[in-house]
Amino acid sequence: MRVLLLGSGGREHALAWKIAQSSILEALFIAPGNAGTRQHGTNVDLSVNDFDGIKAFVLENEVDTIVVGPEDPLVNGIADYFDADAEVNVAVIGPNKVAAQLEGSKDFAKEFMKRHNIPTAKYATFTKDTLKEGQAFLEKMKSPYVLKADGLAAGKGVLIIEDLKEAKAELKNMLADAKFGEASSRVVIEEFLSGVELSCFVITDGDAYKILPEAKDYKRIGEGDTGLNTGGMGALSPVPFANPTFKDKVKNQVIIPTVKGLKADGIPYKGFIFFGLINVRNEPYVIEYNCRMGDPETEVVIPRLKSDILDLFEGVATNTLSERDVQFDERSAATVMMVSGGYPEAYEKGKQIYGLNVVSDSIVFHAGTKADGPVVTTNGGRVLAATSFGKDVASALKRSYESLDKIEFEKSYYRSDIGHDVL
């Protein structure tokens, strides 16, 4: 297979690392990639949303499979673009524009869950024209108040607010003052659920599905889960509290109704489905769907996949996923992110990274890096992810921390308490 992988983060490096191991790979291109992905294929200077440029590259390089890492091109309709073009015969691993609304529209996702009896928080959706009704709805809710921009807001569109007056003001900011632009032209207000979060994943061809290992990620920048939200500071897999009984509930109450619901609604779906779940008194509730793999969850889940990932992608493309074998490494895996000083607020780029070549006990995935010949520098907030295996979470974490201790760049930072809550 000749593969074009879209994206430039840690998720894409993990996917490139796994794709490069496939026995059926002929060529791998990554657009735009990073300093890590160049170890596994050829980086290409293309934007993930430049569909015309991607088409020209696909034709010139005889690419037969496009693997879409981030959500933007999916929500913008890359699968539809290639499906409608008779000139190009390429399989896109990722859902079409309608299906991608599971992530691209909170209201669409909530309506879908309601229609198919998938457990989720109670909610209502409001627009600028129904602002007063939205504020009245808040008065009937218990604190804390959860406000979600309907559209994609770069991970910043969810507000959890304790004070009613502040919640009403923020609702106005979102709807009337376009705090998140077009993304908050509609706002979903939902009940706050108290519990422990985890992420579950499947890959599907629209009929069959394969369940991938679950993960738990850590969003806050500070020790003890304090401070600002980030893209993710680390992740564990498997999740210690996700016992067989709980996972059966996830499968029967969430995964099967989702896959069957998409089919019943006439929505074809090819690719990954990410279930953002919360465990409330041993019952799974869906917080959100994503139409791609998570980051840093990919860096901890994909290394546990023992099967050939291109074989699975071929199954997705040809509707033969049911015939494909999926096996996982039973060991625990732990990922810890190393970030730029100041992240998730202002930070500097271009800091030289030292020590990458001395790490041997972990897989180091690049997230925000840039290469100038042999010199690798920082090029983002989240810079590197160290992923390690162990007989349990504690031993896997120990290896990841030992590896990060060997790597340095100016003002680097990582949390030292990933996984402490479950140990």
Domain ranges for the chain: 2-94, 124-190
Q: Is 419 in contact with 236 (CB distance < 8 Å)? A: yes
Contacts of 250-258 with CB under 8 Å at 24 or more apart are 250/200, 250/214, 250/275, 250/277, 250/284, 251/211, 253/118, 253/119, 253/284, 254/118, 254/119, 254/200, 254/284, 254/286, 255/200, 255/202, 255/209, 255/211, 257/116, 257/117, 257/118, 258/116, 258/118, 258/289
Has residue 125 got a pLDDT over 90?
yes
Q: How many Cα neighbours within 13 Å face the side chain of 144? A: 10
Q: Whole-angstrom Cα distance, residue 171 to residue 187?
A: 8
Q: What percent of the chain has pLDDT over 70?
A: 100
pLDDT digits (tens, 9 = 90+) for 13-33: 999 999 999 999 999 999 999
Name the band, by pLDDT with cuts 50, 70 and 90, for residue 155. Answer: confident
pLDDT digits (tens, 9 = 90+) for 204-241: 999 999 999 999 999 999 999 999 889 999 999 999 98
The per-residue pLDDT for 153 is 82
CATH topology of domain 2-94: Rossmann fold (3.40.50)
Residue owning tokens 């200077």: 45
CATH topology of domain 124-190: Dna Ligase; domain 1 (3.30.1490)
CA dihedral 147, 149, 152, 153 (to 10 degrees): -80
- Backbone torsions φ then ψ of 246, nearest 5 degrees: -65, -40
pLDDT digits (tens, 9 = 90+) for 248-299: 999 999 999 999 999 999 999 999 999 999 999 999 999 999 999 999 999 9
DSSP three-state, residue 32: strand
Residue owning tokens 């994943």: 201
Structure tokens, 177? 């003052």
Predicted TM-score (pTM) of the model is 0.95
- DSSP category for residue 376: E
pLDDT digits (tens, 9 = 90+) for 340-363: 999 999 999 999 999 999 999 999
Name the band, by pLDDT with cuts 50, 70 and 90, for residue 72. Answer: very high
DSSP three-state, residue 301: helix
